[in-house]
Every structure is written in C-alpha cells, then in structure tokens.
Amino acid sequence: MCLAPAVATRLLGARRAAALTRLALDRLLNGWSAPTPSAVLLAVSDRYVGESGALGPEGTAFLDEIRGALPSSLRGCAIELFPYGRAGGGVALRRAMAYLGNNQIVVWGGVDTWYDWPALESLERAKRLLTAANIDGIRPGEAAAVTILGQPRPETVRVLGVGTGREPHPLGSDQPCRSLGLSDALAAAVAPLRAANRRTNSWLFDSTHEAFATEELQNIIARFGDVLGLQTELQMPLKMLGDVGAAAMPLLAVLSAEAWRLGFAEDVTAVLTGCSSDGARAAMLLGAPGDFRAVERVEKSAWVS
C-alpha cells in the first residue's frame, strides 16, 4: 500500500478521503486571494455509487465530510462529485467548461484511497491485488490532487483538449478489449495536435501492472502513431505511486505542470489518460505556459575507462 504519510493511519474511508482533500486544498489556496471559485468539482471513487445510480452511503458520508472540511474561503461553493473512478477527472473537466464559459473559476480535482479493508478485500477477491504471487494486479495507493481552472493566460498551463468514451468490453468481459473507448477519448483530446500536424513526446498513462491495461495501451500506440513523438517515452506513474483511482487524471495533470515549472519536461504539450474498471474512459491534452521551452534530449554513449 502506497500511503500518504501526512494523514493519520486511524482515519479510514470517507473521513480519510476528506482529510486528503483538505490537505490538497490548503496547499492550493495558500496565498490565493481573489477571485473566489464558484464550485469544487471532484472526481471520486466509483465505489461511492449506490444501487440506484445515485450516491450510496459511503458517497453521502464523503460529501458530508468534505462540506465540513472545506477551507473558509470555499464554504459558499457548490460541491459536485463525479463518481466514475479513474476517468472521473475527464468527466469533471467537461463540467468545468460550463463554469468557465460563464467567466467563472472552479476548483477541479480528484481524491481516492484504497486504505480501507472492504476495498482491499474486494480487490483480493477479484484477484486484482498485486502480490509476490500475482504480478497481474494493482498496487493500492491514495492521493488527492486539485487545481484552479479559469480563463487561460500566457503564464498558465492550458487545457487544449478533452475527450471521453466507453469501452464496450472492459476488464472482466468475456470479449477481448479493442480499446474503442480510449480511442474515442484520445481522438477528441488530440484533435488540436492533428489539426496542427504536430506530435508530442509527453504521454502519461494511468496504466497499472495489470495485463489488461498493457493490452489496451498496445492497441492505442498503433492508432495514434501520427501524434506520437519520435522521442516518446511512455510514462506510467501509477506503477510506482500506486493506483490512486479517481485522483489519477488530476494527479497526472499536476505532475505535468510541475515538469514544466521545474524545466525538465520534454515537450510543450502532454497527453493524459484515465481508464476506469467499468469501461469509462477519458483523455486530455495540456499545453505548457507560453514561456516554456522543451529541453533537448542528448543521447549519451557508454564508455569504459
């Protein structure tokens, strides 16, 4: 289990997810003045959905917890939850566009945690838990990632494209995955690249150690060769950080933004994905701040003294 050490180990379930969110919001709003965001849009675990399709008891408990955990500057904001797992960030981003179209700003992000016995046991029963005896599984993790979305400025990271889709044969299906849902999502997200006849070397996938995710990725590479940069190294951070569930897309967006801020990114655009177990798929294309220049890769030759 890849834990967030800043959260007490005694906190579980909805209370733990709310504590993670509060930590991320405090970091985000430190030094932030005006304007005040109109809404908080959070991708959350698909385990929060009840049988009726609405929020179940755990989702309702999280909503109550997060209302009480919001910083004072956000107490008047609307809170909208998107319980679609790893693809939830893309769905929440689509909703954010409606606010931005009205010249408002919003907090966009996601939170999830596997630090909960029922959740871990469900993974184990489905034989999806990464162990020494089962390398075809996921490493449980937890995270919260949030950012402020507003009208683009030269010094800010830009959202250039977003797409969603649904895989008709997701994990557990008796039919082979053809990556149709992710293809739809990626095609919409990378449309600006294709329109400009551009490629990008920065691809961040939410893939885990599961063979299903690897097969889906292999299908995608062949279909998007026209926008895949010639020096691309596919990045899969969740293999090291653990499966952060609904926090995946916001976390990948933050990692991309940090790469641009710190100057080690290899391109001025980045493609991110989110793939939920139930078949929901999402992708987004980010653009670097206007003054960023990608580093040039220097090929090093080995030598022996």
Least confident of 25-39, 156-170, 233-247, 252-266: 25-39
Question: What Å distances lie between residue 291 and 192, 257, 260, 288, 294, CA to CA?
Answer: 20, 13, 10, 8, 10
Say whether the peptide bond before residue 118 is cis (omega within 30 degrees of 0): no
Q: What is the pLDDT of residue 31?
A: 82
The band of 19, judged by pLDDT with boundaries at 50, 70 and 90, is very high
Q: How many CB atoms lie within 10 A of CB 214?
A: 14
Q: What is the dihedral sign for C-alpha 215, 85, 38, 31?
A: negative
Topology of the domain comprising 158-287: Peroxisomal Thiolase; Chain A, domain 1 (3.40.47)
95-104, 130-139, 270-279, 295-304: range with highest mean pLDDT: 270-279
Burial of 191 (0-12, 13-18, 19+ CB in 10 A): middle
pLDDT of residue 302: 42
Please state, for a pLDDT cut of 90, what percent of the chain lies above it.
Answer: 73
Contact 89, 249 (CB under 8 A): yes
> Is the pLDDT assigned to residue 303 strictly greater than 70?
no
Average pLDDT rounded to a whole number, residues 73-81: 92
Query: What residue spans in the chain does CATH classification 3.40.47.10 cover?
Result: 13-149, 158-287
Mean of pLDDT over the chain: 92
Confidence of residue 242 (pLDDT cuts 50, 70, 90): very high
Q: Which pLDDT score is estimated for 300? A: 41
Is 222 a residue whose pLDDT tops 90? no
Average pLDDT of span 160-171: 94
The predicted pLDDT at position 297 comes to: 55
pLDDT at 266: 87
Topology of domain 13-149, CATH: Peroxisomal Thiolase; Chain A, domain 1 (3.40.47)
